[in-house]
Amino acid sequence: MEVFRRTGAVVNINMPIAITNVVLLYGFFFIIDYAIKVRGITQRGFFCVDPSIHYTKKSSTVSSLEHRIYNISLMVLSVIIVEALRQFRKTNRSSDLTYRIGTTKIPKYLVAVLTFIGYSQVGYIVNELLVKFVKGFIGRLRPNFFAVCDPLPIKQCEIFDPNTYVDEYFCQGVEDDVEEARKSFYSGHSTVTMYCAFWTVLYLQARLKPALRNNVIVAILQTLIMAGGLFICCSRISDNKHHSSDVFVGIVVGMSLASISVSLIV
């Protein structure tokens, strides 16, 4: 059943269906997220002399909390501001429509904002679940794995061939940190950041450009947004949190999902 049903110039909003969709979306997220945690992380071994996992441990330039706050704020504030501008300039093609919930008239601006934010969240949640699943299933070791794990002396490496593959070892590091050090592929920071950045860029192209009628300003905003996203992505390599291939795949996945998400509504 559809959320919006149009009769002439009146669009009726089915609130029970809208609320059900939101509950199902976030319920789906928490259920799958829990299932991924229950499954655990694939325990991979390593080669004694593998230089790709012997980097030093560094703090994150942009923490997980900071990058999520930045990215969600970027999308939400962009929608709020752009839709307000479109309303002010009356560039909405649906300006002749009236939105109602029952007999209550709902502002077109509010409908537009909630609709775009809602669709952005569908792609965001799919992105989050996909990267969580892949991280746990692949279990690729981060560049700083040895520094975080701090394994007990391994006889195979000390006595036998240093090129030996070791799959039985004990980490002395903090358990939660060691678990995180097994989640290198692919980069969560990169895929979430580039999803939000590219989604916003595409949204601005479709909604701000017609309202502003200034290609230069729109292009500058889009460039700054993408530059900010790429900075966060590159910081994951310089912080020894990810291999370059992790970041590259994260960028591709994030931008691909953003393209699909925007195509559903714009």
Whether the link from the prior residue into 70 is cis, omega within 30° of 0, is no
pLDDT score for 240: 95
CA torsion, ordered 197, 198, 200, 203, to nearest 10 deg: 180
Contact 16, 2 (CB under 8 A): no
Contact 172, 152 (CB under 8 A): yes
Separate counts of helices (H) and strands (E) for the chain: 10, 6
- pLDDT tens for 175-196 read 999 999 999 999 999 999 999 9
- pLDDT tens for 112-133 read 999 999 999 999 999 999 999 9
- Section 50-78 average pLDDT: 93
pLDDT score for 213: 77
Instruction: For residue 98, give both structure tokens.
Output: 């009236």
Which of 54, 67, 242, 243 is flagged as catalytic?
242
189 part of the active site: yes
Instruction: For residue 262, give both structure tokens.
Output: 């925007």
**Burial of 141: CB neighbours in 10 Å, binned 0-12, 13-18, 19+:** buried
243 part of the active site: no
Residue 125 carries which side chain, given as an amino acid letter? I
H or E, element range at 189: helix 188-203
What do you get for the CA distance between the two ends of the chain, in Å?
21
| Partners of residue 1 on adjacent β-strands | none
Contact 223, 254 (CB under 8 A): no
Please report which confidence band the pLDDT of residue 8 belongs to, taking 50, 70 and 90 as the band edges: confident
pLDDT score for 158: 67
Contact 208, 85 (CB under 8 A): yes
Spatial distance between the Cα atoms of 134 and 183, rounded to a whole number of angstroms: 9
Which of 54, 67, 189, 243 is flagged as catalytic?
189
Please report which confidence band the pLDDT of residue 11 belongs to, taking 50, 70 and 90 as the band edges: confident
